[in-house]
Every structure is written in C-alpha cells, then in structure tokens.
Structure 1
Amino acid sequence: MKKRICIAVLSALFIPLLFSETAYDKFWNSMKAEDYDEAERYLAEWEKTKPKDAELYVAYFNYYIAKATAEQIRMETTPPDSGEYAEAKNESGDTIYLYSTTAYDDAFSEKAFAAIDKGLSFHPKRLDMYFGKAHFYYMRKEYSDQKELIKKVFALHKKYGGKWLWANNTPLENTPVDFEETVHNYIAEWLGTENQTAIECAREIALLFVKDFPDNPVAYNDAGLAYSYLNDLEQAKKYYKAGWECDGGDMILLANLAYVCKNLGETNEAEKYYLLMAESDDKGYADFAKRQLENLR
C-alpha cells in the first residue's frame, strides 16, 4: 500500500529565522551549542524587554524540552521494533540487544507545556504553538492528551475560519504548512505506533476529519485505515468506498477498497475494483491491479 507523504510541520519551532544580533539570536546560538546555562540567561534578558513576545514562549518551550530530554541505554532479550541496536552476549551466553531510547523528565516537560500555554494565552491564533505542543505529547507517548488537543484545534479552526498564524505571526496561507495535511500526518503517526490507544485516537480524529472536511478523500482513507488497524473491515470498507465516490481518480482509495473486499471474502466486488484500477493511466497502479486479478482467479 503506497504511503502518503506528509510535510513536516514543526520546523518553524526548532529552526529560528535570522535577525540582527539580539537576545533571540543569542538564545538560539546557545541552544545550538547546547550551552543551556547561557541560553537561560538570554531568555531572562529577552523576557525583560518583550514579556509577551510569541517567539519568547516558543523559545522557552524548546529550552525546557531540551532540558527534559535524556538518552537511555536499554538491554533486552529481544531486538527493538525499529532503529539501530547492538548484539552482545551476557554471562550465560544468551544474546542480548542494546539500544538507546529517549526519555523526557516530567518536571521539565511540565515547564515546557506551561510555557507554550502561556504563549497561547497571549497569542491564541498561533497554530505552530498548538502543533508543537501536540508533537511533544506524541514524543512523550501521551496519545490521548494529544488527541484532545487536536480536537480543540479543530474547534478553533472553525471559530477562526482557518485564519491561523504561524511562526513570527506569519499568516498560515503565506507558509507551506497545510492544515489538512498535518492532521493526516498525526493520524499516520498514530497508526505507525501499532499502539492500541494511539490507533483509537487515529480513528476518532479521522472521523472528525471526515466530518469537517467531507470533500477531502484523504480523510476517508485515514478513517478506513484506522478501522482496518482495528480489524473492523466492514467500517473500513464503508469509508474507503465513500472516499472513492468522493474522488474516483484516487488509486490509493481504490486499492484499499479492493483489498478490504478481498479480505471480507467479497471476491466479485474486489475483482470489479481491481478491473477499474487496471485501466489506470498510471502503469504502476495498472500493473499492480493486474497482478491482484491473477491472484483472485
């Protein structure tokens, strides 16, 4: 199944723009050098001159995340699901696996969340702050809190008519960030965890995505995928089919629809969809469909 590619949405939080030499620049230069004592001094200097500056609270947020982050070495009898690891033998001669994980100190994490919340109290339309906070919840594996925040963002999206601000108070429409693409990205990340709570979050947000953006076929595909991960193939089929009816040229939806029909034992319907795909102008999709038809027959 072809994965949709999503844009990264957090770069504005972590890569500052270049201005004249100010506390802003001094802070970020200190962060790059990992000199956190110096960074803290520049934050205090910055806050004295601009106590309500949105970028100040983005900076505090990143500072506390950096302070919260710690790498830990784990030793297990099974390898990790992803990432690099080293094999070794213990005293009994059994194979063990060494790999690093990232942990986040709760006290510093709490300060990070408090900082971004204070920034949002002054700048409630700063979408990058909401997305940065949501991403930190994801990093901490606090999926339910992340989901609730994204639900709040959906409500605010309606309230503001989609008129958000991004880093340096740039109107969202003047940035490469796409709200709907970002929502899809969150859903894909949850599904990629294979964590049951995260998958339930993906389902809930995907349904809200469909409700609020009924003309976006990606929303239906996301809902179908969430139900597929939950092994509810009937509901998955419902959303794949609705999405395909929304955009009959979406080959990803058509492939997923055919696949779920095949797994439901609905061979004739699966064949119908693969035949449609076999007529695609895209040779890759057409060849894929033809191979699937051979397997069905």
Structure 2
Amino acid sequence: MKRILRTLIAILISQFGFSQDYQSDFQKYCQTNDTINQLKVLTEWNSASPKDAELYTSYFNYHFMKSKQEVLALSNDKLNGEGFVLKDSLNQTAGFLGSEIYFDQKELEKGLNKIDEGIKLYPNRLDMRFGKIYALGQIPDWESFTSEIIKTIEYSSTNNNNWTWSDNEKRNGGETNFLLDIQTYQIQLYDTGNDDLLKNMREIANEVLKYYPNHIESLSNLSITYLLTGEYDKGIEPLLRAEKINPKDYIVLSNIAQGYKLKGDKEKAIAYYEKTVEYGDERAKEYAIQQIIELKQ
C-alpha cells in the first residue's frame, strides 16, 4: 500500500512539474515572439497533459497574439496608432501614414474556441472569462463582449463569487471585487462615446441588478443610459431607488438633481442640490451651490 501511495505521489509531482516547465517555456518564447517554438511547446504539452487549465489559456494567448496584425496604412483621417502627417507642395496636410491594427478572424476564432473549451471545463476560472472579454473588446465585437459579461454575471450567482485565477489560485475579494471589475467594462463601453452602446450598458446593469439589487453603481449606470437619451423619468427612477439604499450618497443625490434639472423641474432639482450640499465633499458642495444659484435666477 505504501509503495502504491509513493508511486501516485511521484506521478502527481511529475505531472505538476511538467505543467510548470511547459508553461515557463511557452512564456519564454512569448517574450521573444517565437511562434514556431510556442506551437512546439503547446503541441508537446497537449500530448502530455491535454486537460491542463493553463494549456487552454496558453493556446488562447498564442492564437490571440498571432491573430493581431499591424500594417502600414494611408488615410485621409488621422490614424489611431503612431504615424506621420503627409504634406503637399503647399505644406498643407494631404493625409496620414501610420500603423493600423487588425485581427485575423480565422486565427482569432481558434483562440476563442480554445478558451471556450477551458471555461467549460473550469467554469470558476475568472481569468479565462475576463481574457475572452478583453479580446472581444479589442476586436471590437461589442455584442459578444456584452453577452460574455452577462454570462459571467449570471454564473457569479451559481458559484457565489468563489472564483479562481491563473494556476487555479483562489481569487480573493468575492462579490465586491467582482462587481468592481464589471464596472470597468461598463466604463469601457461608455468611453467609446457611441450612443448605440447605451443599450449594452443597460443590459449589463439590469443583469447585475437581477442578482445584486442594491448595487448602486449599476443603478447609476442604468440611469445614465436613459438620461443621455432624454428619457428623464426613466433615468431618475433608478437613482431614487439608489437614494433609498444610501440616502447620504452625494453622487446619487447630485445625479438626481441633474436629472430633475434636465427635466425642467427646478424645485426638485434645487431640493436635491441642497441635499448634495448637506452630504457632499467640498467639490460637490461648490458645484451644487453654483447650480442652486443658477436655478434660482
């Protein structure tokens, strides 16, 4: 019995060592952008330990990095990357020459399929889910980006935010840190400046509130999606819900005041700016006082 136990322990240690060596070798070749040896390591790794969680993340990284292509482009509009301004004989701007990033869809699809396999086997691996969301935001594919976030929020209610990260290490922070991460994706959508994506923000906010009804940031996000489209009553309603959760949240109070101001209800706007003065920090107080003065003129 002891001999069998020693043999099993030896096998486990050996397999763990192999995984670490493959992972280390893969990362080494990533640093030198050596895709030939990256694939060689992945192929050997797959033969030795095909269900290794880190193998899936490494395959995903390999295909994602390989799919990313940079080309020189000539454009009449300023390019997002680094570039040069082209001048004509009169020293007027004639165009722009610079680099543009695009993604090879077939190669990218291979990576997404691999990470999907990994998520299916290791549904608690949040780094896999976030890695996929990151890639979808880079393409960008905002519909799939939103869909993947919603799937992750839904699963958070199943595992009670007991997530793991790379090397299957426990990820601390629970619900609080998880919702902070989701908030960064909401900000990413907002920062695009694309009003068409307000509906995506709304979908994510509603999904969060389905499982975390007291999440003030999501109530505020939901409000923004309506206030920016002129639906003021719909925008004010979630903020009033947030006020009931925390009556002293001066950011919420200020946003309610702004909502009423946009709606044209000066009396209620002034009342909420006065609440902001009562509970806000110095900057919020100064802004609220200025708004009250303007509204009373």
Normalised by the size of structure 2, how large is the TM-score?
0.84
1:281, distance to aligned residue in structure 2 (A): 5.5
Unmatched tracts of structure 2, length 5 or more: 1-17
Q: Which has the higher contact order (CA 8 A, sep 6+)?
A: 1
C-alpha RMSD over aligned residues: 2.6
1:244, distance to aligned residue in structure 2 (A): 2.3
SS in 2 for 1:173: coil
Alignment of 1:86-235 (within 5 A): 86-90=84-88, 93-173=92-172, 178-235=177-234
Alignment length (residue pairs): 278
1:137-194: CA deviation from partner (whole Å, max 9, x where unpaired):
1111211112222222222222222222222112233689821111111111112112
Q: Which residue does 2:11 correspond to in 1? A: none
Q: Which residue does 1:62 correspond to in 2? A: 61
SS in 2 for 1:294: helix
1:28, distance to aligned residue in structure 2 (A): 0.5
Q: In the alignment, is the contact (CA less than 8 A) between 1:88 and 1:98 conserved in 2? A: yes
SS in 2 for 1:65: helix
Q: Which residue does 1:5 correspond to in 2? A: none
How far apart in 2 are the matches of 1:262 and 1:165? 45
SS in 2 for 1:103: strand
Structure possessing the higher radius of gyration over alpha carbons: 2
Q: In the alignment, is the contact (CA less than 8 A) between 1:213 and 1:219 conserved in 2? A: no
SS in 2 for 1:125: coil
- Establish whether residue 51 from structure 1 lines up as the match of residue 64 from structure 2: no
1:41, distance to aligned residue in structure 2 (A): 1.3
How far apart in 2 are the matches of 1:161 and 1:177? 11
Q: Which residue does 2:287 correspond to in 1? A: 288
Q: In the alignment, is the contact (CA less than 8 A) between 2:164 and 2:170 conserved in 1? A: yes
- Relative distance call for 1:102 and 1:232 in structure 2 (3 A) is farther
1:129, distance to aligned residue in structure 2 (A): 0.8
1:83, distance to aligned residue in structure 2 (A): 6.7
The aligned amino acid for 1:27 is: F
1:228, distance to aligned residue in structure 2 (A): 2.7
How far apart in 1 are the matches of 2:72 and 2:267? 52
Q: Which residue does 2:8 correspond to in 1? A: none
1:229, distance to aligned residue in structure 2 (A): 3.3
How far apart in 2 are the matches of 1:193 and 1:141? 11
How far apart in 2 are the matches of 1:260 and 1:95? 45
1:183-230: CA deviation from partner (whole Å, max 9, x where unpaired):
111111112112344221111111121222111211111111222333
How far apart in 1 are the matches of 2:81 and 2:295? 36
SS in 1 for 2:244: helix
SS in 1 for 2:172: helix
SS in 2 for 1:172: coil
The aligned amino acid for 1:107 is: K
How far apart in 1 are the matches of 2:210 and 2:88? 54
Q: Which residue does 1:241 correspond to in 2? A: 240
